[in-house]
Each structure stands twice: as structure tokens, then as C-alpha cells.
Amino acid sequence: MSATLEHASEARRAGVQPISTTSEWTFELIQRYDEAIAECAREFKLDTYPNQIEVITSEQMLDAYASVGLPIGYAHWSYGKEFIRNEQAYRLGVQGLAYEIVINSNPCIAYLMEENSMAMQALVIAHACYGHNSFFKGNYLFRQWTEADGMLDYLVFARDYVMACEDKYGVGPVEAMLDSCHALMSHGVDRYRRPHPISHREEVQRQVERDEYARQQYNDLWRTVPVRDQAVERASKSNVFPPEPEENILYFVEKYSPALEPWQKELVRIVRKLAQYFYPQTQTKVMNEGWATFWHYTLLNRMHEKGLVNDGFMIEFLQSHTNVVAQRGFDQRGYGGINPYALGFAMMQDIRRICEHPTPEDREWFPDIAGSDWLKTLDFAMRNFKDESFIAQFLSPRLIREFRFFAIADHEDNPKIEVEAIHDDEGYRRVRRLLADQHNRDMMVPDIQVVRYNRDSDRSLVLRHVTTRGRPLQSEDADQVMKHLARLWGFKVRLEEVDAQGNVKTFRERSP
């Protein structure tokens, strides 16, 4: 901090004046701060989409909460319920509101709360417009699975299509379809195939083509056409369809449900596209927030060094920043698990420390990055990792000690709780692996796949759940999912639970 104050003193002696000296903001000041922060971001070679900054009220922020942060969305009762829940909690003082919401689109849209002071507006600009924005543009998961250029157009298409369906078929049937699709949203994601980029113009054209194709299928004579899909041809020969298990249940329902009408399949497709859009965010919570927090801290400190903000600004900023990255103990009030802001920011800072001032321990654990260029190393980590692999690769023994991490084993077949890993070489590796596993989506979402569609008999659908680490499905949750899947499929649905050896342990059946 003394070095920062020294730089600020030099800036003042050079005649540089702070951009503002009060807590009040204006649109002109927001623009000046944005330009200054952008200049600092260029010094650190941050690559971002163009920014679109919107200032909104607390009620509009609550509305954005309800629609999971999307600027345009279709109507659904669950969004209204979420709005009322958040509004009541906010009015009673039980919860606060985020300083901002940022949208992964091109241009990148950032919503700022009008209640924020000027220092908080600057923090949000640095955090969202240059931190999150550069992560959206650079990280491989966002580059692979989302299309920032087409997202806003697709949201418009989805909203208009749902509204048209409500006018034509009624609100009740549309809501029932969306209820079931939302229930299966976590099973509507491709993990290994790259989907076609979302384009509004292409989506409208493909919708026309799908409607025409569906119309033709009503005539049974079309089944005699000799040109057949290769996957269907292989499945016919083996009498098993699909030929390989399908993990994307919503995709399979959309393509093969014998009961859904074309408009209903399009609703399934819309929800599936939204699930895919959010998929990278569920995989990179620690990295994304850590990256954005690291850069708002770095950029605003750089502005202080240049004399563009004063000490009062920095005190307010640092107070807010400290609250964001605080990690409460398990026995402290307000504890909610590991704070992704705290862990992510600490890891980004630690990588910079390892690059600039490595210890002998760092050189032993991280020989490839110790003493290297910290900007290039952080950029490489941001672009090529997700939470699980990032923690497994870069969590250092020093951070494990600072966070006081250790591992407790509480197994069902053991009446005693055991301390499984402590602060030694073996313990560090064990803690790092366990923490990485906790951020692995595959450990949180049950592995349920479509294994058989009996299309030549009763049209029933068979799914299989492979238990991992001896974790069975929660009975109540599984029954709810089966109910919604049976509604979408229109015929009997069977869910088998299989152990690691392939033995069927239990099964459930549900009819529509």
C-alpha cells in the first residue's frame, strides 16, 4: 500500500486531478470513469467485447434477478414467484442486491444500480465491463458453447415464439410444457458436441423447415423414402435405438418424442438452448468471479497510482472489496460454504505472487510458472481452464494453509468421522483433488442417459442412472423428474439405477 501511496503522491505533484471528489454520480462521470478504466485495461492487454452500460432501479434489478439476469425473456409464472420472493426479502432487509448484472453478449451489457455511489459505479465498471467481459470473450468454454453475437436475437425469437404459442394454444398448455422443460433443464446440455451457433435469422428459417418436415411426417407413405439417416439405419440393423446412450435428455425428447406437436418441440428446443447458454457459467463460477474481482482490484489500484481517484474513493472501494472477498468460518454467522469470490481472487493473486516472488516451495510445486510473466500466465489460465481443472492445477499449499483447508471423511459404513488430509505433501494433494471434485459439474448432476427407445412396441423410454461414489438418487426428486419426463414423452418412462458393475439395483416407472 505504501508503494501505491507513493505513486499517488507523484501523480499529484505532476498536476493530475482526480476524476471526481464526491460520491454523487452523473452519466458524464460514468463515461469518464469508463474511459479511464478502459485505458488501464489496455495497459494490461485485456481483450473485451464493446460495452453497453445501463443504469437501472432496484425494482428493475429485482426483475432481472427473476429472469436469471437475461435482458429479454419469455413469460413464466416461476419468474414472477422469484420476483416476489426477492422483493420481500429486500424490503425486509434480509438480503441485499448485487451491485451489477452482466450479460454475455456482444456488445456486453452491464446493469448498474442507480443507488450506487460513484466509487461503486466505478468498481462495477471495472468488475463487469472489463473483468467478466474479458472472461466471456477469452475462456474456451464460452467460446465453444455460446455465441455472443447471436444471443440477444435468439432471446427475442424465444420471447416472441412463446407469446405466439400462448395466443394460439392457451397459457395453460404452454406453461405446463415450460414447467416440464425447466425441471429437466440440467439434463438438456451437450458436454462434448459443439452446438450450431445461435442466429435469429437461421433460427426462423430452420423453424419453417421443421414445420414443413413435421407436416410431411403425418403422411405414413413418407416412411418409404429410401434415403434414411445413417444413425437410424444402424439402429434398425441392431434393433436398438439410440445406438449409443444419449446424455442430453431434452435433445432426445425434442427429436424423437412420439407425442409432442411441432410447437411443443420448439419450446423444448428453446429451453435446451438456454440451458446450453448457462452451461459455461456453472463450470466457471470460481474462475469468472475471481478473474473479475482480481481485475477490479488491479485496475482501480492502477487508477489510484495515476492520481485519477483520491484516498476517499479508495477507502470506500476497499471496504466493499473486503466484504466481497471475505471468507467466513464454518462457525461464524452468515457462513454459506466456500466463497467463490474469495477463493477465485486469492488464487489469481497467488498465481501473480508465484510468478513475481516465488518461494522454494512454489518452485517445487509449480516449476513451469514460478518466475514467469504473470500476465501471460494468468491469461493462459483464464483461457484454458474451468473451475475443476483450475483448482487441480493452481491451488498452492500456501493457500491451503491460509484458508485452513483440511479433509474430513464421513462415510456411511463407518460410525466414526476421520481426518483424511492435513497440511503435509500428501494432504495438500488430497485436499486439492477433493476441492476440485466439489467444483466438477459431473459430481453434482446425476449421470442419467437415454439407453433405449422401444419405438417398435409400446414406445416406452428407458433411462439409466449410473451411481457414482455410491450416491443413489433422491427418491422424491427422481419421482418429480419422472413425472415431467413422462409428460413430455407421452408414453411410459422407465428409470434404471445401475451400479459400477452394470447391475440394475432399482428401477422406477411412470406413465403420463
Q: Which of 50-64, 85-99, 140-154, 419-433 has the lowest mean pLDDT?
A: 85-99
Q: Which of 128-132, 164-168, 195-199, 331-335 has the lowest mean pLDDT?
A: 195-199
pLDDT value of residue 7: 57
Instruction: Give the model's pLDDT for residue 67.
Output: 62
Sign of torsion over alpha carbons 222, 226, 231, 236? positive
Q: Residue 58 above 60 pLDDT?
A: yes
Q: Is the pLDDT of residue 13 over 60?
A: no
444 touches 432 (CB < 8 A): no
pLDDT at 266: 94
pLDDT score at 411: 78
Kindly report the number of other CB atoms within 10 A of residue 50's CB atom.
Answer: 9
Tell me the average pLDDT across 35-49.
96
Mean pLDDT value of segment 301-327: 93
Answer whether residue 94 shows pLDDT above 50: no
Mean pLDDT value across the chain: 84
Residue 211: its pLDDT value, please? 65
**DSSP readout, 294-349?**
HHHHHHHHHHHHTTSS-HHHHHHHHHHHHHHT----TTSTT--SS-HHHHHHHHHH
What letter does residue 495 receive in the DSSP assignment? E
Domain boundaries defined on the chain: 12-139+284-323, 326-443, 448-510
Q: What is the mean pLDDT of residues 159-187?
A: 92
Q: Which of 75-84, 180-189, 413-422 has the highest mean pLDDT?
A: 180-189
Backbone angles phi, psi at 132, to 5 degrees: -60, -40
Model confidence at 222, pLDDT cuts 50, 70, 90, reads very low
Q: Is the pLDDT of residue 227 over 60?
A: no
Q: Is the pLDDT of residue 229 over 60?
A: no
Residue 223 pLDDT exceeds 80: no
pLDDT at 142: 92
Q: What is the pLDDT of residues 462-495, one digit of tens each?
A: 988 877 655 677 777 788 888 889 999 999 999 8
- 32-41, 123-132, 164-173, 414-423: least confidently modelled range: 414-423
What's the whole-number mean pLDDT along residues 72-91?
64
3-state DSSP percent of the chain in helix, strand and coil, to 5: 55, 10, 35
Query: Do the strands 461-466 and 493-498 form a parallel or antiparallel pair, or are they unpaired?
Result: parallel
What confidence score (pLDDT) does residue 33 get? 96
pLDDT at 235: 47
